């Protein structure tokens, strides 16, 4: 994964040399995402800058990618997992082995719906100099970040991270996932629209456990595409442990060689972090021992986490409480992973959204309500878990891939009637816990204590002292007088707790202005739940703390 910066709608009187220098300086703000190489493209109508983290084809995949005739220039942040199949069906004259070059090929081949055929995570800007046309697009779930806005001269600017647009674009905003902008029409179009969004389309549908298992194994296999050392994040929870179990199966063969030769790094390394004595560190070691990974469990102290907070908020570009709590240990873990020479990791984000894994789903009143909330959670991922995993890891130049959000696997998981995903304490054994359908599919793949481990939010699992300590520090850092005036200082998304105020104040130092604040969703945030979900239990509406432990009647008795 990398970073991109683009400037479009340049005018004939523009000083291209000066704009090139400006674009380079702005792109440098996100160079942590791509420390391996920098590339610049300048034309009369567009400037593209790319900061590269070389994962696939390190030798020849430098960007911006140019077509053989020089007319096309492409800057991409991401990975296209089905690039080999797409290459095979194209007559395009490829110039590199980069997985991303298929984007130029499909555009040149005239495929008007080509973005829908990409299975991957991506944010890209494509310039066609001959047609004086540009396209900007973001992957369907928003795993890769992307922001856009206009400078004072009306030029459209795009960047992987908001920090590159601060001070340049007063109207900076997140580019919406699953959309493409075409300058030829001036239209921002949603290209990713799935029938499973409607509960009625899924009603009565089920998937055999073996089919669900195979679909996920194939997703992990696709995402092991790499030419550099990699590993897995292993918290010891269900999701990360399943990712690790599947990755361990395929680690010995080289995926890019279609499993015909031995992998360059055949031993799978796994990584965990937590406070001394944390639940995650203990569970991760159990899972690692069972799977045979080379495991690295790192301990951090509360004060190391607190010291990192300002940099964490600067990197992840949010003031959301849950996201910051979880991003901080992940940021510290990324630094340790980088120091070991690993450039890519697989992570377990997305499972809770697909299968209703958050503890408040225990209170869902109906299958339809359950399904609607999973769809809403998927739509919000780009603002929360995807943002956290991507930016916390990329702060140190480590790419995080998310197999549960593989587009083919999402289709399989979301076609299942939510009736089969719901918790039923009086029903069969596999229904008495969240994500029972997923646990059943992988029966025997993990130790029972891991396969049936109760859901812990990452910020809880690293050690309860982390969240509790943050609350104490915020209480000391924010005076009663300051907090009483919170609505006057922050009328938009007014902080509901002193901890939220503490984070908002740090965010504002790096990202001033209403536009930046508006990139962070507002509202109640019990596990980022919707107003409809808050109505499932009256206790939810009065809970300001988004920790999983705060979901009354669920965390403590989920196994009862």
Please list the active-site residues. Answer: 2
Query: CA torsion angle for 242, 248, 253, 259 (degrees, to 10)?
Result: -30
Q: How far apart are the C-alpha atoms of 297 and 119, rounded to whole Å?
A: 32
Reduce the DSSP state of residue 294 to 3 states and report it: strand
- Looking from the CA of 100 toward its CB, the CA atoms found within 13 Å total 31
Which distant-in-sequence residues (6+ apart) come within 8 Å of 225 by Cβ?
56, 79, 81, 99, 255, 256
The number of beta carbons lying within 10 Å of the beta carbon of residue 264 is: 12
**Which candidate, 387, 254, 338, places its Cα nearest to that of 36?**
338
Closest CA to 146 of 367, 406, 386: 386
DSSP H or E run through 359:
none
Helical (H) or strand (E) element with 231: strand 230-233
Q: Are 293 and 234 in contact (CB under 8 A)?
A: yes
Burial of 313 (0-12, 13-18, 19+ CB in 10 A): buried
Stretch (H or E) spanning 358: none
Rounded to the nearest 5 percent, the helix, strand and coil shares of the chain are 45, 15, 40
Cα–Cα distance for residue pair 373/370, rounded to 1 Å: 5
Q: Where are the beta strands (DSSP E) in 319-430?
A: 344-346, 399-401
């Amino acid at each position: 994964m990398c970073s991109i910066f683009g400037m479009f709608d340049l005018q004939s009187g523009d000083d291209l040399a000066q704009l090139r220098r400006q674009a380079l300086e702005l792109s440098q703000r996100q160079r942590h995402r791509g420390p391996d190489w920098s590339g610049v493209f300048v034309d009369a109508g567009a400037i593209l800058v790319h900061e590269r983290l070389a994962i696939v084809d390190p030798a020849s995949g430098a960007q911006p990618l140019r077509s053989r005739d020089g007319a096309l220039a492409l800057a991409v942040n991401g990975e296209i997992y089905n690039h080999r199949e797409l290459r095979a069906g194209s007559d395009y004259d490829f110039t590199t082995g980069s997985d991303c070059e298929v984007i130029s090929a499909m555009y040149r081949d005239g495929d008007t719906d080509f973005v829908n055929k990409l299975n991957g995570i991506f944010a890209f800007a494509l310039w066609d100099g001959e047609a004086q046309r540009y396209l900007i697009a973001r992957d369907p779930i928003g795993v890769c970040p992307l922001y856009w806005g206009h400078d004072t001269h009306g030029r459209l600017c795009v960047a992987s991270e908001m920090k590159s647009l601060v001070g340049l674009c007063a109207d900076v905003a997140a580019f919406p996932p699953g959309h493409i902008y075409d300058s030829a029409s001036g239209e921002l179009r949603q290209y990713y629209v799935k029938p499973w969004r409607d509960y009625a389309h899924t009603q009565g549908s089920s998937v055999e456990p073996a089919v669900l298992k195979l679909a996920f194994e194939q997703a992990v296999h696709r995402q092991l595409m790499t030419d550099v050392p990699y590993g897995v994040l292993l918290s010891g929870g269900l999701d990360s442990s399943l990712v690790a179990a599947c990755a361990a199966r395929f680690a010995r063969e080289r995926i890019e060689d279609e499993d015909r030769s031995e992998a360059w790094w055949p031993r799978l390394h796994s990584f965990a972090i937590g406070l001394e004595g944390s639940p995650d560190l203990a569970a991760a070691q159990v899972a690692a021992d069972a799977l045979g990974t080379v495991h690295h469990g790192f301990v951090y102290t509360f004060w190391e986490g607190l010291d990192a907070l300002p940099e964490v908020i600067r990197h992840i570009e949010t003031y959301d409480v849950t996201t910051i709590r979880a991003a901080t240990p992940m940021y510290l873990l990324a630094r340790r992973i980088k120091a070991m020479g690993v450039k890519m990791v697989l992570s377990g984000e997305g499972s809770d959204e697909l299968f209703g894994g958050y503890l408040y789903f225990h209170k869902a009143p109906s299958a339809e309500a359950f399904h609607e909330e999973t769809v809403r959670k998927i739509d919000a991922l780009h603002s929360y878990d995807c943002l956290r995993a991507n930016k916390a890891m990329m702060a140190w130049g480590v790419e995080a891939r998310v197999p549960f959000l593989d587009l083919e696997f999402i289709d399989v998981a979301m076609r299942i009637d939510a009736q089969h995903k719901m918790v039923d304490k009086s029903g069969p054994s596999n229904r008495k816990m969240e994500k029972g359908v997923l646990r059943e599919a992988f029966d025997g793949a993990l130790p029972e204590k891991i396969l049936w481990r109760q859901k812990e939010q990452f910020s809880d699992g690293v050690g309860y002292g982390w969240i509790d300590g943050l609350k104490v520090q915020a209480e000391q850092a924010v005076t009663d007088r300051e907090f009483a005036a919170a609505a006057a200082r922050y009328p938009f998304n007014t902080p509901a707790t002193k901890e939220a105020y503490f984070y908002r104040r740090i965010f504002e130092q790096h990202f001033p202005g209403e536009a930046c604040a508006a990139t962070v969703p507002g509202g109640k945030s019990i596990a980022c739940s919707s107003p409809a979900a808050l109505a499932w239990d009256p206790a939810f509406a009065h809970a300001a703390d988004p920790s999983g432990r705060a979901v009354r009647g669920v965390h403590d008795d989920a196994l009862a």
